[in-house]
Amino acid sequence: MSKKVIAVVGPTASGKTALSLRLAEEVGGEILSCDSMQVYRGMDIGTAKPTAEEQALVPHHLIDLVPPDRPFSCADYKPLAEAALADVLSRGRVPIFCGGTGLYLDAVLTVGSFSPSVPPEIRKELLSSSPEALWEELSLVDPESAAAIHKNNVKRVIRALEIYRGTGKTKTEWDRLSRRPSPAYDALCIGLFFSDRDALYRRIEARVDEMLAQGLVEEVRALRSSLSPTASQAIGYKEILLFLDGVLSYDEAVELLKKNTRHYAKRQLTWFRRDPDTVWFPADGRDSFKDIVTVVKKHLTD
């Protein structure tokens, strides 16, 4: 069975969805979302989820997996993504990962230790406990980690406990999982970038304006009472919630949303640029798609 995999990465609003659709049609692919918020049903506008029309063009996976009131983490995503990946490969199709959550992609495709992410509220709650209480809890739920971490190293004790509370698995279990060999996928990562950072920011602002025009405020209002702590922290949702709660004016919430999205785009670029094997193309390049198809087809036939 072929192990060839494609991934389209880059900052938000760089055109990943459009490129993935065109690539899938060109090479017989199916799209696997690696977006930590598109897993939630009903969170459509704020996550820039592919439309029903786009999903009808090419099979999509790993979208609308859980209701928005359910916690969902990278630990949940990894086995589901591996199963979807194996399914696509078994049918002779080309898996094309698309999304901006680098942690999720790395959890599936890369070899190395994996430290799961957990909601920030868990750490905040743990910080309110005394060092003695934290140590006692860790000794009960994860005695192996407790034996390896000095009780005065509160930072590491808290990290071990937040892993357990956030994922249901102990740090010891995660350490064992990280030592397992990763599947031997032959992945090609295509990165999209803007040589003019201001051009990206203009696209981000235009996207936010379009989301608002599509009904983002109404979407958040409808989901307001059913958002898990994780979902409520999604960019586009937490800012509108501040408006709905009367903390910010509408204009202040929109400006904060645009600012947070710009900052998120910077973090995404920093994450994806860590991989020296990613092949980067200008998102606004005239011949980029032709060049990308050439590189992708070469990868699939080598």
Residue 250 has pLDDT above 80, yes or no: yes
| CATH number of the domain where residue 36 is located | 3.40.50.300
Looking at the structure, tell me whether residues 20 and 137 fall in a common domain. no
Looking at the structure, tell me whether residues 252 and 125 fall in a common domain. no
What value does the mean pLDDT take over residues 213-242?
Answer: 96
Residue 272 has pLDDT above 90, yes or no: yes
Both ends of the chain: CA-CA distance in Å? 15
β-pairing, 4-9 vs 186-193, is parallel
- pTM for the full predicted model: 0.77
Domain tally, the chain? 2
Q: Which of 231-240, 253-262, 269-278 shows the lowest per-residue confidence on average (mean pLDDT)?
A: 269-278
Beta-sheet strand order (sheet of 279-282):
60-61, 29-33, 94-98, 4-9, 186-193, 279-282
Looking at the structure, tell me whether residues 185 and 44 fall in a common domain. yes
Looking at the structure, tell me whether residues 68 and 212 fall in a common domain. yes
What is residue 184's predicted lDDT score, i.e. its pLDDT? 55
Looking at the structure, tell me whether residues 83 and 163 fall in a common domain. no
Looking at the structure, tell me whether residues 100 and 8 fall in a common domain. yes
* Non-local CB neighbours of 42 within 8 Å, separated by 6+ positions: 67, 68, 219, 222, 223
Looking at the structure, tell me whether residues 106 and 194 fall in a common domain. yes
What value does the mean pLDDT take over residues 142-155?
Answer: 90
Q: Which residue has the higher pLDDT, 151 or 41?
A: 41
Residue 286 has pLDDT above 90, yes or no: no
Q: Are the C-beta atoms of residues 205 and 182 closer than 8 Å to each other?
A: no
What is the span of the domain harbouring residue 157?
120-178
| CATH number of the domain where residue 153 is located | 1.10.20.140
